[in-house]
Amino acid sequence: MKITLLGYGKMGKAIEKVALERGHEIVNTIDLNNIADREKIGESEAEVVIEFSSPHAAYENLKSCMAQGVKTVSGTTGWLDHKEEIEKLCVENDAAFFYASNYSIGVNLFFKLNEVLAKMMSKHKQYEIFTSEIHHTEKLDSPSGTAITLAEGIMNNNIQKSKWVNNEIPKEDEVAIWSSREGKVPGTHNVKYISEIDEIEIKHTAYSRLGFAQGAVIAAEWLVDKKGVLGMDDMLKL
């Protein structure tokens, strides 16, 4: 498979390493130094674009890819106010768009576990719900996309909760996300249900970026013969 990397930071380099190990070819890497190449991706031999850039760059990156009808896997977080527009462009231009807030297979199983637990706990109002996330100090967005996905999973399965707040004392209808940035932590996420008499907790800890990189390459392999708006639930049949 021929891949263009759109964004060539630490995640882009980790994805390159995994892709080459799996027998794929990187035909181009695009970052700020050669951003004009972004507008020519549709003319290149790339079969799939893998986009891991930054919150302020992702929207323009993805808009360009969709306008060119390119198959694109994206893992950039912090731009999701524009997600509906990108999905519409994907359909209009007969492209393929695969988005996940986290490409770790383990995290996506954790997402499903979170939803099941939230549904089970929705009738037990004596429990307060708190979520937390810790990431490395270079992460630009807060809370993480993974933390937002977890909060949304709770909200979708608990009618008492209608919104999330970050680093604030929550109101009764809010899910609290507590975010912190420490050292070089790849990513740790917790969901806790706390009552006066006990506590229930589920937790996912990432040990390196390789799990995310591997998941992104697997998603690209899966997407190469597909069209439309897709995600991890489709690929993993969750």
Q: What is the dihedral of CA 40, 41, 42, 47, to 10 degrees?
A: 160
Shared-domain flag, residues 86 and 21 = yes
Q: Is 173 annotated as a binding residue?
A: no
Shared-domain flag, residues 95 and 41 = yes
- Which of 2, 82, 83, 135 is labelled catalytic? 135
Shared-domain flag, residues 80 and 145 = no
Q: What is the pLDDT of residue 110?
A: 96
Residue 129 in contact with residue 161, Cβ under 8 Å? yes
Give the tens place of pLDDT for each residue, 36-58.
Answer: 999 999 999 999 999 999 999 99
Task: Clarify whether 227 is annotated catalytic.
Answer: no
Task: Clarify whether 124 is annotated catalytic.
Answer: no
Shared-domain flag, residues 139 and 199 = yes
CATH number at residue 181: 3.30.360.10
Rounded average pLDDT over 142-151: 93
Q: Which structural domain range is residue 229 located in?
A: 2-99+210-236
What is the percent of the chain where pLDDT is above 90?
86
Query: What does residue 231 show for φ and ψ, rounded to 5 degrees?
Result: -160, -170
- Which of 139, 161, 189, 204 is labelled catalytic? 139
Q: Is 38 annotated as a binding residue?
A: yes
Residue 153: pLDDT band with limits 50, 70, 90: very high
Is the pLDDT at 188 greater than 90, yes or no? Answer: yes
Shared-domain flag, residues 95 and 109 = no
pTM of the model: 0.78
Residue 151: pLDDT band with limits 50, 70, 90: very high
Give the tens place of pLDDT for each residue, 62-94.
Answer: 999 999 999 999 999 889 999 999 999 999 999
Q: Which residue's entry shows tokens 């020519």? A: 40
Give the tens place of pLDDT for each residue, 115-132.
Answer: 999 999 999 999 999 999
Distance CA 232, CA 103 (A): 8
Q: Is 193 annotated as a binding residue?
A: no
Shared-domain flag, residues 12 and 90 = yes
Q: Is 136 annotated as a binding residue?
A: yes
Q: Is 149 annotated as a binding residue?
A: no
Shared-domain flag, residues 152 and 190 = yes
CATH number at residue 82: 3.40.50.720
